[in-house]
Structure 1
């Protein structure tokens, strides 16, 4: 079942359960998928690839994390709590997140592959790291681990 089909089923389930936050969150995912599908049609693509779907989910999750941080900074705990609930729902659709140890191991392998030795080589490592870990680890966490390993 594609993500789009799964979202359609989950919208029906949330409507029946009268789960307002889940319904709004799942609808926002559907909206993002439809917008992306429209944007790729001119290139002849009719359906999104799994990587494109994950990219959308990662982007939506990042937006929620940023909003949570901003609301907490402004003392708006009720809004931060709502964003946090939405983030939890979004994460159900994302691939299982890797642990810090798994991310560190993957980055160590990439550093060895590209022959990175100092902070100057960070760009050489970040490209392959983000490609390999996309949707499986937060980009900021990956960047922090790469910096630490390269002594930056």
Structure 2
């Protein structure tokens, strides 16, 4: 399980005295725990690895946005810290499908659902996320779905 891999990485980083990596793994585990608490209040039967992958994808997206903002603002030292955290987060993310593979999946789902216009985008995105949410960057997939339905 991904959660166990993150815990093991945290312990290894602590033993090695790697403060940056320790802080990044702690941040990951804190977000996972927040999500656990959030899901406790709801009746959710979400698979643990899917939930953890979703948390990691959101964290990675936030780091990418922060890096862009810091670099455009001339704050390279802050961007460097975000890049380090992003690299740790990406270690635990499952391999993402390529753009061509994602487009092929979208075409298959589009044909299966009979989607023809932008009205059907929500249905296509929902089906794509339910089937392949952990393997696809949904923000990139959104653009591909729009292009396929245009």
TM-score range, shorter chain: 0.7 to 0.9
1:3 CA displacement? 2.9
Task: Give, in whole Å, the separation in 2 of the partners of 1:44 and 1:140.
Answer: 27
Say whether the 8 Å CA contact 1:54–1:135 is kept in structure 2.
yes
TM-score by length of 2: 0.87
The whole-number CA distance in structure 1 between the counterparts of 2:47 and 2:34 is 11
CA contact (8 A) 2:6 2:92 kept: no
Greater relative contact order (CA < 8 Å, ≥ 6 in sequence): 2
- Which moved further from structure 2: 32-41 or 66-75? 32-41
Paired residues for 1:1-152 under 5 Å: 2-42=1-41, 49-151=48-150
Structure 2: which 5+ residue stretches go unaligned? none
Question: 1:48 Cα shift?
Answer: 6.6
Q: Is the 8 A contact 2:67 2:83 kept in 1?
A: yes
Q: Give the RMSD, CA atoms, in angstroms.
A: 2.2
Equivalent-residue separation in structure 2 for 1:131 and 1:72 (angstroms): 34
- In the TM superposition, what is the alpha-carbon distance from 1:119 to its structure 2 partner? 2.4
Alpha-carbon distance between aligned partners in 2 of 1:78 and 1:41, rounded to the nearest angstrom: 38
Task: Quote how far apart the aligned CAs of 1:114 are.
Answer: 0.9
Is the Cα–Cα contact under 8 Å of residues 56 and 89 in structure 2 kept in the other structure?
yes
Distance 1:48 1:31, change over 3 A: farther
Gaps of 5+ in 1: none
Once the two structures are superposed, residues 56-104 of structure 1 have per-residue CA deviations (whole angstroms, 9 ceiling, x without a partner) of: 1112111111211211221212212221221111111111011111111
